[in-house]
Structure 1
Amino acid sequence: MTSNRWDTLSSFYFDYHHLPRRFLQIRDSTIVRVRELCFRLSHYNRVQSPIINRLRQDLAWQFPEVMNVRSVVGASGDAPLLWGWIAGQRNSAKYDRLYAATVGSGLIEETRFAAKMLCDLQLQERKIELELFGLVNSDVRFLPYRKVFTQFGFGLRVQALILSQIYPIENFFGDNGKPEVKISRGRNSKKPTKKRYSERRFMKTLGVAPTRAWSGDEQKKSYQSGSDVCRVALWQWIFTRIEPTQARLRSPIGEKLSAYYLECKNGQPIKLVRSRLAAKAVRMLWRELVKEIVGSGVDSNVDGADIMPNIALDAELDN
């Protein structure tokens, strides 16, 4: 049995050793840690939402004066004031006065326990953010990536999340160490069509590239593959930096994306508009990263030696 496994592995290497994408990727240790911290932050964020909702429902009849107060971890790293006060971890003369004159029935033990649990989660979240900030900002290899991310108005979490998925960007390049762009004959038009394979892989990694699947007589379906966490982060970025008029990103990239959003939202479903906007933003992100890191545009690596074999191959397949 052991011999058969080694024979299979040897045969696989012999057939595909020139295709690195056939093998598991070995990530940089720093990126592995950044990736782990990003997933932990995403998990803690999901866990907090039902706890906060439950707390607000309880406060509606126990202490309604503060049920809508937004309380977060301060810059000093202390527990959120409201939740820390309810849990007995922080003192507040303001909440003492409000509680003394409340019209509610008073806090119960379950509410204090939930507040303590929320404080622990948010303090752990703050600790992870500090470690993440140190990892992303202390490594000089990430400087060109962060420079481009700043142009898009990405915050620390989004920067770290995207970085954990795409670093190093050279993994998306072709065998010649440049973005892989080829020209082949179009299936329907029969005209030369440019195919940006590296860009497609980049978009799929960030969860904004559509994938089509079908089986037998079943009608073909389209869905989005890749990182769900990145897709959600990009949608949240659109909600906060592209759609709102007041907080809209003030940069050439932000102006282009905002103009595209305003152009598309008239007469089209908003979900479709946001999906297209995310895809366009990632496409622009790819080209800015290539320009910054490689120092050339994404189309500069196409030459006749690469084009002609692909056109000939497609022509043979069409016939």
Structure 2
Amino acid sequence: MIKDTRKSYGGTSNKSDPYDALLMVATYFQHYQIAYDRRYWVRERPPEVAKIEQCLRDIGSFNKPRTQTINQAKSRLVYEFPAKAKVRVKKESGKLDPDKLPAWWGWACGWTSQGSWEIPKGIKTKFDNEYAKAIAAGEGTGISEVTARLAQQICMWHQSEAMVEQELLSYLNLPEFDCYHRVFDKFGFGCRERGWLLTRCVPFDEMFKCLPKSKAMRRFRQLCGLGATQVQSGKADTRSSFTGSKETRSTLHQFVVRAIERGTHREQKPGGGAIATTPYDCLPKSPEAHSLRVYWVTRAYHKGNKVSGAALKAARNATSRKLAETLFKALWDMR
């Protein structure tokens, strides 16, 4: 803001510390002494919220190196053990345990037990038999020491993520967040979605109840990374982008895909058909969840068929914004 103000007042973009300092003093008088505007001033957040965000960022920092390690290990398994080159390990957020390693990768590195946990005998025997048959049939050169070391690294990444997630859960379960969790339960959010949302809206009354409801909703939507901005340069095309927390925006977008899109569809009947659920449906039976189902089906289906391409992307973005707005209304009315 100071940079733009300097250009408009001074007519130059040259950097000048004394002039910047003068503008900051003027900003103080204008937006603090004359008319207080909380958006211009640093607010100290509750320490619990800061810890939650730190845990979430730690978990996010594990994703890239772990994914690289998994891809490298799978690329080696293509010729060492082709039957497992596309192996996938299911992780259930909120239920990771540092003493329970991924069974396949634990077997691949020989790490078959950890603490009180041990690979079930039946699963271990299954892996042993599959490996012996593949090697006997010439289907692979055998798991090398390098691949086994990569599998061990994957297990260690799993342990690190599980330890941080347990710390995250200890902060989420604090009693001061109970009123927020009662609202989150209406949407079926997982622990990581709840964590990112808490970093955006706590304390809710101090951040939003001081504004008119319409302005507070726009503020909440922007903090969730869904504040759309549009740039026009006099040409026919315009560029639109989102402002705010990209982590929260990504989390809400993934929730739309995972919980709403995969769990809801429109039956193939003349006139559009009725809204139906799939085996992947995980949303609770609440009015808020039902309104999101209806909104998604209305945007994502045309004449009974699901749209694709840019229309599908637009439907996901619109449902993400609708999710943020519905959540804000529920938080506004919480007790």
When normalised by structure 1's length, the TM-score is 0.77
Shift of 1:133: 0.4
Deviations 1:232-268 (A, max 9, x none): 1112111221112222213222221111111111345
Match of 1:273 in 2: 315
Q: Alignment length, in residue pairs? A: 275
Q: Which amino acid aligns with 1:164?
A: T
Shift of 1:53: 2.6
Which residue, out of 168, 174, 190, partners 1:132? 168
Match of 2:65 in 1: 47
Cα distance in 1 for residues equivalent to 2:226 and 2:18: 42
Tell me, yes or no, if structure 1 residue 290 matches structure 2 residue 332. yes
Shift of 1:116: 1.6
Tell me, yes or no, if structure 1 residue 152 matches structure 2 residue 187. yes
Aligned CA distance change for structure 1 residues 4 and 256 (closer, same or farther; 3 Å)? closer
Cα distance in 1 for residues equivalent to 2:98 and 2:234: 60
**What stretches of structure 2 of length at least 5 have no aligned partner?**
1-15, 114-123, 264-277
Cα distance in 1 for residues equivalent to 2:147 and 2:38: 54
Aligned CA distance change for structure 1 residues 108 and 23 (closer, same or farther; 3 Å)? same
Match of 2:297 in 1: 262
Q: The residue matched to 1:292 in structure 2 has which SS?
A: coil
Tell me, yes or no, if structure 1 residue 99 matches structure 2 residue 131. yes
Contact 2:105 2:154 in 1 (8 A): yes
Contact 1:42 1:229 in 2 (8 A): no
Contact 1:208 1:231 in 2 (8 A): yes
Cα distance in 1 for residues equivalent to 2:292 and 2:18: 57
Shift of 1:76: 6.5
Match of 1:31 in 2: 49
Q: Which moved more, 1:108-117 or 1:210-219?
A: 210-219
Aligned residue runs from structure 1 range 241-252, under 5 A: 241-243=259-261, 244=263, 245-248=278-281, 249-251=283-285, 252=287
Tell me, yes or no, if structure 1 residue 209 matches structure 2 residue 245. no
Q: Which amino acid aligns with 1:149?
A: F
Q: Which amino acid aligns with 1:84?
A: G
Deviations 1:42-64 (A, max 9, x none): 22223322322332232222112
Q: Which moved more, 1:158-167 or 1:284-293?
A: 158-167
Cα distance in 2 for residues equivalent to 1:203 and 1:2: 35
Tell me, yes or no, if structure 1 residue 13 matches structure 2 residue 33. no
Q: Which amino acid aligns with 1:246?
A: P
Q: Which amino acid aligns with 1:49?
A: T
Q: Which moved more, 1:210-219 or 1:29-38?
A: 210-219
**What stretches of structure 1 of length at least 5 have no aligned partner?**
182-195, 294-319
RMSD of aligned Cα (Å): 2.6
Aligned CA distance change for structure 1 residues 172 and 99 (closer, same or farther; 3 Å)? same
Q: Which amino acid aligns with 2:176?
A: R
Match of 1:110 in 2: 146
Contact 1:72 1:81 in 2 (8 A): no
Provide the identity percentage.
25
Q: The residue matched to 2:333 in structure 1 has which SS?
A: helix
Cα distance in 1 for residues equivalent to 2:194 and 2:241: 25
Match of 1:192 in 2: none
Cα distance in 2 for residues equivalent to 1:152 and 1:218: 40
Match of 1:86 in 2: 108
Contact 1:172 1:201 in 2 (8 A): no
Match of 1:309 in 2: none
